[in-house]
Structure 1
Protein backbone atom coordinates (compact mmCIF):
# COMPACT_ATOMS: atom_id res chain seq x y z
CA UNK A 1 0.00 0.00 0.00
CA UNK A 2 1.38 3.47 -0.77
CA UNK A 3 2.28 6.11 1.78
CA UNK A 4 -0.69 8.28 0.80
CA UNK A 5 -3.06 5.35 1.38
CA UNK A 6 -1.53 4.68 4.80
CA UNK A 7 -1.81 8.37 5.68
CA UNK A 8 -5.42 8.45 4.55
CA UNK A 9 -6.30 5.38 6.63
CA UNK A 10 -4.52 6.92 9.63
CA UNK A 11 -6.54 10.13 9.28
CA UNK A 12 -9.78 8.15 8.99
CA UNK A 13 -8.95 6.08 12.05
CA UNK A 14 -7.99 9.18 14.05
CA UNK A 15 -11.19 10.94 13.05
CA UNK A 16 -13.29 7.94 14.06
CA UNK A 17 -11.54 7.56 17.40
CA UNK A 18 -11.86 11.29 18.11
CA UNK A 19 -15.57 11.25 17.26
CA UNK A 20 -16.23 8.24 19.49
CA UNK A 21 -14.27 9.71 22.42
CA UNK A 22 -16.04 13.06 21.99
CA UNK A 23 -19.45 11.42 22.01
CA UNK A 24 -18.65 9.24 25.02
CA UNK A 25 -17.48 12.17 27.14
CA UNK A 26 -20.24 14.58 26.07
CA UNK A 27 -23.03 14.90 28.63
CA UNK A 28 -26.04 13.39 26.86
CA UNK A 29 -28.62 10.63 27.37
CA UNK A 30 -27.57 7.04 26.71
CA UNK A 31 -30.03 6.67 23.83
CA UNK A 32 -28.70 9.79 22.15
CA UNK A 33 -25.11 8.65 22.68
CA UNK A 34 -25.85 5.23 21.19
CA UNK A 35 -27.63 6.85 18.23
CA UNK A 36 -24.67 9.18 17.62
CA UNK A 37 -22.23 6.24 17.87
CA UNK A 38 -24.33 4.27 15.38
CA UNK A 39 -24.41 7.24 12.99
CA UNK A 40 -20.67 7.77 13.33
CA UNK A 41 -19.93 4.08 12.79
CA UNK A 42 -22.19 4.00 9.71
CA UNK A 43 -20.48 7.12 8.38
CA UNK A 44 -17.06 5.57 9.01
CA UNK A 45 -18.07 2.34 7.28
CA UNK A 46 -19.21 4.34 4.26
CA UNK A 47 -15.96 6.33 4.17
CA UNK A 48 -13.84 3.20 4.49
CA UNK A 49 -15.85 1.50 1.73
CA UNK A 50 -15.39 4.54 -0.53
CA UNK A 51 -11.66 4.80 0.14
CA UNK A 52 -11.24 1.05 -0.28
CA UNK A 53 -12.96 1.27 -3.65
CA UNK A 54 -10.70 4.15 -4.67
CA UNK A 55 -7.57 2.27 -3.61
CA UNK A 56 -8.79 -0.86 -5.39
CA UNK A 57 -9.32 1.17 -8.58
CA UNK A 58 -5.85 2.72 -8.28
CA UNK A 59 -4.30 -0.74 -7.92
CA UNK A 60 -6.29 -2.04 -10.89
CA UNK A 61 -5.25 0.96 -13.01
CA UNK A 62 -1.61 0.49 -12.04
CA UNK A 63 -1.71 -3.22 -12.85
CA UNK A 64 -3.39 -2.53 -16.17
CA UNK A 65 -0.76 0.04 -17.04
CA UNK A 66 2.06 -2.35 -16.11
CA UNK A 67 0.46 -5.16 -18.12
CA UNK A 68 0.17 -2.89 -21.15
CA UNK A 69 3.82 -1.86 -20.81
CA UNK A 70 4.87 -5.50 -20.47
CA UNK A 71 2.84 -6.44 -23.55
CA UNK A 72 4.50 -3.65 -25.55
CA UNK A 73 7.94 -4.80 -24.43
CA UNK A 74 7.15 -8.41 -25.36
CA UNK A 75 5.95 -7.38 -28.83
CA UNK A 76 9.14 -5.36 -29.32
CA UNK A 77 11.26 -8.30 -28.18
CA UNK A 78 9.49 -10.73 -30.52
CA UNK A 79 9.85 -8.32 -33.43
CA UNK A 80 13.54 -7.84 -32.72
CA UNK A 81 14.07 -11.60 -32.50
CA UNK A 82 12.27 -12.03 -35.81
CA UNK A 83 14.61 -9.57 -37.53
CA UNK A 84 17.65 -11.30 -36.03
CA UNK A 85 16.32 -14.67 -37.19
CA UNK A 86 15.88 -13.29 -40.70
CA UNK A 87 19.50 -12.06 -40.64
CA UNK A 88 20.74 -15.50 -39.56
CA UNK A 89 18.72 -17.21 -42.31
CA UNK A 90 20.09 -14.80 -44.93
CA UNK A 91 23.65 -15.43 -43.73
CA UNK A 92 23.13 -19.21 -43.78
CA UNK A 93 21.67 -19.07 -47.29
CA UNK A 94 24.69 -17.08 -48.51
CA UNK A 95 27.06 -19.57 -46.87
CA UNK A 96 25.15 -22.49 -48.43
CA UNK A 97 25.41 -20.88 -51.87
CA UNK A 98 29.15 -20.40 -51.34
CA UNK A 99 29.58 -24.04 -50.29
CA UNK A 100 27.60 -25.26 -53.32
CA UNK A 101 29.92 -23.30 -55.63
CA UNK A 102 33.03 -24.73 -53.96
CA UNK A 103 31.55 -28.23 -54.18
CA UNK A 104 30.73 -27.79 -57.87
CA UNK A 105 34.36 -26.87 -58.58
CA UNK A 106 35.49 -30.14 -57.01
CA UNK A 107 33.29 -32.29 -59.23
CA UNK A 108 34.62 -33.83 -62.46
CA UNK A 109 32.58 -33.23 -65.58
CA UNK A 110 30.72 -36.19 -67.12
CA UNK A 111 31.31 -38.37 -64.08
CA UNK A 112 28.37 -40.59 -63.27
CA UNK A 113 27.58 -40.69 -59.57
CA UNK A 114 26.68 -44.06 -58.07
CA UNK A 115 23.22 -44.49 -56.66
CA UNK A 116 23.19 -44.44 -52.82
CA UNK A 117 22.00 -48.12 -52.79
CA UNK A 118 25.10 -49.13 -54.81
CA UNK A 119 27.42 -47.70 -52.16
CA UNK A 120 26.30 -50.14 -49.48
Structure 2
Protein backbone atom coordinates (compact mmCIF):
# COMPACT_ATOMS: atom_id res chain seq x y z
CA UNK A 1 0.00 0.00 0.00
CA UNK A 2 1.51 3.30 -1.10
CA UNK A 3 1.59 6.35 1.14
CA UNK A 4 0.07 9.47 -0.37
CA UNK A 5 2.06 12.40 0.96
CA UNK A 6 -0.54 14.82 -0.40
CA UNK A 7 -3.19 13.14 1.74
CA UNK A 8 -0.88 12.83 4.75
CA UNK A 9 0.39 16.39 4.73
CA UNK A 10 -2.46 18.28 3.07
CA UNK A 11 -1.66 21.84 2.10
CA UNK A 12 0.96 22.40 4.80
CA UNK A 13 4.01 22.00 2.53
CA UNK A 14 2.57 24.54 0.10
CA UNK A 15 1.56 26.81 2.97
CA UNK A 16 5.12 26.72 4.27
CA UNK A 17 6.45 27.73 0.85
CA UNK A 18 4.02 30.66 0.69
CA UNK A 19 4.91 31.70 4.25
CA UNK A 20 8.62 31.48 3.41
CA UNK A 21 8.16 33.74 0.40
CA UNK A 22 6.02 36.14 2.45
CA UNK A 23 8.77 36.31 5.10
CA UNK A 24 11.19 37.36 2.35
CA UNK A 25 8.83 40.08 1.12
CA UNK A 26 8.21 41.40 4.64
CA UNK A 27 11.95 41.36 5.39
CA UNK A 28 12.52 43.42 2.22
CA UNK A 29 9.96 45.92 3.47
CA UNK A 30 11.67 46.17 6.85
CA UNK A 31 15.09 46.53 5.24
CA UNK A 32 13.80 49.36 3.03
CA UNK A 33 11.90 51.25 5.73
CA UNK A 34 14.14 54.30 5.23
CA UNK A 35 14.57 54.04 1.46
CA UNK A 36 12.96 57.04 -0.27
CA UNK A 37 10.27 56.03 -2.75
CA UNK A 38 10.10 52.40 -1.61
CA UNK A 39 6.57 50.97 -1.67
CA UNK A 40 5.63 48.24 0.82
CA UNK A 41 4.62 44.90 -0.72
CA UNK A 42 2.90 41.81 0.58
CA UNK A 43 1.54 38.45 -0.53
CA UNK A 44 -2.14 37.63 -0.15
CA UNK A 45 -1.69 34.32 1.67
CA UNK A 46 -5.26 33.13 1.17
CA UNK A 47 -5.17 33.83 -2.56
CA UNK A 48 -1.80 32.08 -2.92
CA UNK A 49 -3.13 29.06 -1.01
CA UNK A 50 -6.30 28.97 -3.13
CA UNK A 51 -4.14 29.05 -6.26
CA UNK A 52 -2.09 26.16 -4.88
CA UNK A 53 -5.25 24.17 -4.12
CA UNK A 54 -6.54 24.65 -7.64
CA UNK A 55 -3.17 23.59 -9.07
CA UNK A 56 -3.17 20.54 -6.81
CA UNK A 57 -6.70 19.47 -7.70
CA UNK A 58 -6.19 20.03 -11.41
CA UNK A 59 -2.55 19.02 -11.45
CA UNK A 60 -1.10 18.21 -14.81
CA UNK A 61 0.44 14.81 -15.09
CA UNK A 62 3.32 13.96 -17.34
CA UNK A 63 2.23 11.44 -19.93
CA UNK A 64 5.62 11.07 -21.55
CA UNK A 65 9.18 11.09 -20.17
CA UNK A 66 10.22 13.93 -22.47
CA UNK A 67 7.45 16.27 -21.32
CA UNK A 68 8.46 19.16 -19.10
CA UNK A 69 7.48 19.00 -15.45
CA UNK A 70 5.67 22.31 -15.03
CA UNK A 71 5.60 23.74 -11.53
CA UNK A 72 4.38 27.23 -10.76
CA UNK A 73 4.36 26.83 -6.99
CA UNK A 74 7.21 29.32 -6.51
CA UNK A 75 5.33 32.14 -8.25
CA UNK A 76 3.27 34.11 -5.77
CA UNK A 77 1.73 37.44 -6.59
CA UNK A 78 3.34 40.20 -4.61
CA UNK A 79 1.20 43.30 -4.49
CA UNK A 80 1.81 46.79 -3.28
CA UNK A 81 0.17 47.44 0.04
CA UNK A 82 -2.17 50.41 0.54
CA UNK A 83 -0.46 52.67 3.08
CA UNK A 84 -2.11 53.20 6.47
CA UNK A 85 -0.27 56.41 7.12
CA UNK A 86 0.02 59.65 5.16
CA UNK A 87 3.06 60.17 2.95
CA UNK A 88 5.97 61.52 4.99
CA UNK A 89 7.32 63.38 1.98
CA UNK A 90 9.83 60.82 0.74
CA UNK A 91 7.33 58.51 -0.99
CA UNK A 92 8.09 55.53 1.29
CA UNK A 93 4.95 53.59 2.30
CA UNK A 94 6.53 51.21 4.85
CA UNK A 95 4.98 51.26 8.33
CA UNK A 96 7.74 49.57 10.33
CA UNK A 97 5.42 48.56 13.19
CA UNK A 98 2.95 46.94 10.81
CA UNK A 99 5.77 45.11 9.00
CA UNK A 100 7.26 43.77 12.23
CA UNK A 101 3.87 42.58 13.43
CA UNK A 102 3.14 40.91 10.09
CA UNK A 103 6.59 39.30 10.10
CA UNK A 104 6.07 37.91 13.62
CA UNK A 105 2.56 36.62 12.81
CA UNK A 106 3.86 34.98 9.64
CA UNK A 107 6.70 33.40 11.62
CA UNK A 108 4.30 31.96 14.20
CA UNK A 109 2.08 30.50 11.48
CA UNK A 110 5.14 29.02 9.74
CA UNK A 111 6.16 27.37 13.02
CA UNK A 112 2.63 26.00 13.48
CA UNK A 113 2.74 24.36 10.04
CA UNK A 114 6.21 23.03 10.78
CA UNK A 115 5.01 21.50 14.07
CA UNK A 116 2.05 19.92 12.29
CA UNK A 117 4.30 18.40 9.63
CA UNK A 118 6.74 17.13 12.26
CA UNK A 119 3.94 15.39 14.13
CA UNK A 120 2.61 13.85 10.89
CA UNK A 121 6.08 12.63 9.92
CA UNK A 122 6.55 11.19 13.40
CA UNK A 123 3.21 9.39 13.11
CA UNK A 124 4.10 7.98 9.69
CA UNK A 125 7.49 6.88 10.99
CA UNK A 126 5.83 5.06 13.90
CA UNK A 127 3.41 3.38 11.50
CA UNK A 128 6.28 2.20 9.29
CA UNK A 129 8.59 1.02 12.07
CA UNK A 130 5.99 -0.63 14.23
CA UNK A 131 5.09 1.99 16.71
CA UNK A 132 6.10 1.81 20.33
CA UNK A 133 9.81 2.60 20.11
Asked if TM exceeds 0.5, the reply is no
* TM-score of the two chains, using structure 1 as the length reference: 0.40
Task: Calculate the TM-score normalised by the size of structure 2.
Answer: 0.37
- Structure with greater contact order relative to length (CA < 8 Å, sep ≥ 6): 2
Report which of the two structures shows the higher radius of gyration computed on alpha carbons.
Answer: 1
